[in-house]
């Protein structure tokens, strides 16, 4: 299967990172539709800064609607895993992770990074050209990898990828549903010229999502199987919502836009 899929003006690529033993600096391509990473050439064209922010505030590289859509989609996926998870934690937005994602997205580099942070963070990347209706069009291909995943360990997808991967991938999906990765922060940026596997893409929309604690540890399953919320960490105080361990004091992620 070729890495590049050219469908009219729609092109999509995916990269996942965040595993001990996985290549943390080399990109892995999605076998479904295409995804990617960093830029300075696209500065000044954000895919959504908060419209309510004053000019004196720092420009943010994701809109409130995109942030909510990404977060809600992750929790929807996490709450419906099969087989069911006994220790799946509800994911919250983290503005510190979003800031690190901003810094990387603005560089418009098709690779994971920065290396100093990848020791502690998981990372999924996506890039596309052409028009799109929803930010979820850059996120859903990560979930679509579920078709190539068999719990607890994949049979067909390749968790260890060279510079370019051929065949099925599933590490984007497993990072999304890694039970203990309970924080996410993302940024989306328009790169006017982005080098993707040797080709220059014009006006590429680049999404970076960072996760903490990192997932995709080699030899470990993404979650424990069992009755939902039956193996939640004590810190959750027994609180459960939509099959996920739910924080008793929910993080108000909207403060990031205040």
| DSSP assignments along 145-179, one per residue | GGGG--SSS-SSS-SS--SS--S---HHHHHHT-T
Query: Does 25 map to a domain?
Result: no
Query: Does 18 map to a domain?
Result: no
Whether the CB-CB separation of 83 and 42 falls below 8 Å is answered with no
The whole-number pLDDT of residue 114 equals 96
Domain that holds residue 135: 64-245
Query: Does 32 map to a domain?
Result: no
Whether the CB-CB separation of 210 and 52 falls below 8 Å is answered with no
Strand order from edge to edge, sheet including 92-93: 11-17, 122-129, 199-212, 183-196, 92-93
C-alpha–C-alpha distance, residues 200 and 208, integer Å: 19
Query: Does 26 map to a domain?
Result: no
Whether the CB-CB separation of 254 and 96 falls below 8 Å is answered with no
Phi-psi category of residue 243: left, alpha or beta, with phi > 0 → left and psi -120 to 50 → alpha: left
Query: Does 132 map to a domain?
Result: yes
Tokens 């502690």, residue? 120
The whole-number pLDDT of residue 153 equals 77
Nearest of 225, 203, 190, 234 to residue 61 by alpha carbon: 190
Q: Would you give per-residue pLDDT tens digits along the chain (258 residues)?
A: 333 333 223 334 445 554 333 322 223 323 222 222 222 222 222 222 333 333 434 567 899 999 999 999 999 999 999 999 999 999 999 999 999 999 999 999 999 999 999 999 999 999 999 888 899 999 999 999 999 899 987 666 765 554 455 667 899 999 999 999 999 999 999 999 999 988 999 999 999 999 999 999 988 999 999 999 999 999 999 999 999 999 986 554 444 444
Query: Does 239 map to a domain?
Result: yes
Query: Does 87 map to a domain?
Result: yes
The whole-number pLDDT of residue 219 equals 86
pTM given for the model: 0.77
Query: Does 199 map to a domain?
Result: yes
The whole-number pLDDT of residue 232 equals 98
CATH number of the domain that residue 214 is part of: 3.40.33.10
Rounded alpha-carbon distances, angstroms, from residue 92 to 29, 53, 73, 197: 27, 22, 12, 33
C-alpha–C-alpha distance, residues 62 and 229, integer Å: 32
Q: How many domains does the chain have?
A: 1
């Amino acid at each position: 299967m070729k890495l590049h899929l050219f469908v009219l003006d729609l092109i999509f690529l995916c990269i996942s990172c965040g595993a001990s033993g996985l290549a943390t600096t080399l990109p892995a391509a999605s076998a479904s539709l295409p995804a990617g990473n960093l830029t300075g050439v696209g500065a000044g064209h954000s895919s959504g800064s908060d419209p309510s922010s004053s000019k004196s505030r720092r420009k943010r590289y994701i809109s409130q609607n995109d942030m909510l859509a990404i977060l809600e989609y992750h929790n929807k996926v996490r709450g419906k895993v099969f087989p069911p998870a006994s220790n799946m934690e509800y994911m919250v937005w983290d503005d510190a992770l979003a800031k690190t994602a901003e810094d990387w997205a603005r560089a418009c580099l098709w690779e994971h990074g920065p290396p100093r942070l990848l020791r502690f963070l998981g990372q999924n990347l996506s890039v596309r050209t052409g028009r799109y209706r929803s930010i979820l069009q850059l996120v859903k291909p990560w979930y679509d990898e579920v078709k190539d995943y068999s719990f607890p360990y994949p049979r067909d997808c390749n968790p260890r990828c060279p510079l370019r991967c051929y065949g099925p991938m599933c590490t984007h999906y497993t990072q999304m549903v890694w039970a203990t990765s309970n924080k996410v922060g993302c940024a989306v940026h328009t790169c006017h010229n982005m080098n993707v596997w040797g080709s220059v893409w014009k006006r590429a929309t680049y999404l970076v999502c960072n996760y903490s604690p990192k997932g995709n540890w080699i030899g470990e399953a993404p979650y424990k199987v069992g009755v939902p919320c039956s193996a939640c960490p004590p810190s959750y105080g027994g609180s459960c919502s939509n099959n996920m361990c739910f924080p008793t004091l929910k993080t108000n992620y909207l403060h990031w836009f205040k």
